[in-house]
Amino acid sequence: MNNAAEPGLKIATVAERTGVGVHTLRAWERRYGIPRPSRSSGHQRLYSDEDVRRVLRVVALANEGVAPAQAAARVLSESFEAAPGPGRDEVDALFESLAMLDERAAIGAWNWLVDRHDVNTLIEQCIVPALRRIGAGWASGDVSIDQEHFATAFLSSRLSGLARQASPPAHPLVVLACPAGETHELPLQMAGVLIRYRGVNTVLLGANTPSAAVAHAVEQTDAVAAAIPAFSPETAREALKAARAVGKARPGTTIILGGPGFATAGTLPPGASIATTLTDTADRVRQAAWGQ
């Protein structure tokens, strides 16, 4: 995903300009999301001046002693802050293709967004608004069960693909889990993508996870953090149970809660805090993992 308007550099040119070998560039792309080439009609990687700038920034940070994963996460965060927002028509195209159950159109709309926006913009300003429209349509009766299920399945598969592309190092690691009774997994997947593009690995447990299972996963993986969302007061109570179980199993673990279920949250367990957005969740995880 790249913000430059006219990408067109071959990887050998990027290697020459940055001093980073071709094999290393490909490894960084796979593991850290830097650089992020577009594809020509013949599926050849094409890079931009912005890709070159990002690689040089990673090199500069590495020369200062910053680990490559941390350096890439920092550079991506800098890019997120400067990224332009998508146009309304782009989000409309994604929503309308999902509502029409048109997979080919949905793929086209998705690829258009992915090619033009960084991952933070893609999620916060494209996917989240589309999901809100689907949710509002569901509540009003304008969106049917089949439309909602199609949209969920399509976006879930695409988010899984983005998560795999990031390939952060094995550690540090965060456990992502919906508490018992919570079935809204897409926001957790979106947070996971943002976290992985910040250089932190994830273990996704998914929907309806008992408290003991969340705590066991954190303990078994030696996770630095656990992210637990809730979308109703009932599941928020279950999320708090899970947070307490995590704190008991592995004291000192950072616990990040979030979602509308915590609108009236009471006293939080030690080590727990409430994130306000998906980006806030990812940034809190990065702070727990890297101290920045």
- What pLDDT digit, counting tens, does each position of 16-50 carry? 888 899 888 988 887 777 887 877 766 677 888 88
User: What percent of the chain clears pLDDT 70, i.e. is strictly above it?
Assistant: 91
Strand 254-258 to 272-275 pairing = parallel
Whether the predicted pLDDT of 5 surpasses 50: no
How far, in Å, CA of 9 to CA of 210, rounded? 49
Residue 227 — φ and ψ, nearest 5°? Answer: -110, 125
Whether the predicted pLDDT of 265 surpasses 90: no
Write down the residue that tokens 């990002």 correspond to.
54
Whole-prediction pTM: 0.73
Average confidence (pLDDT) over 131-138:
90
Reported as a pLDDT band with limits 50, 70 and 90, residue 4 is very low
- What pLDDT digit, counting tens, does each position of 244-255 carry? 999 999 999 999
CATH of 167-290, one of 3.40.630.10, 3.60.20.30, 3.10.105.10, 3.40.50.280: 3.40.50.280
Report the CATH architecture of 11-82: Orthogonal Bundle (1.10)
The domain ranges of the chain are 11-82, 88-164, 167-290
Reported as a pLDDT band with limits 50, 70 and 90, residue 3 is very low
* Two structure tokens written together for 276: 């306000």
Say what the pLDDT of residue 168 is: 86
Q: Is 117 helix (H, G, I), strand (E, B) or coil?
A: coil
How far, in Å, CA of 129 to CA of 134, rounded? 9
Say what the pLDDT of residue 84 is: 52
Give the type of residue at 214: V
CATH superfamily assigned to domain 88-164? Methionine synthase domain (1.10.1240.10)
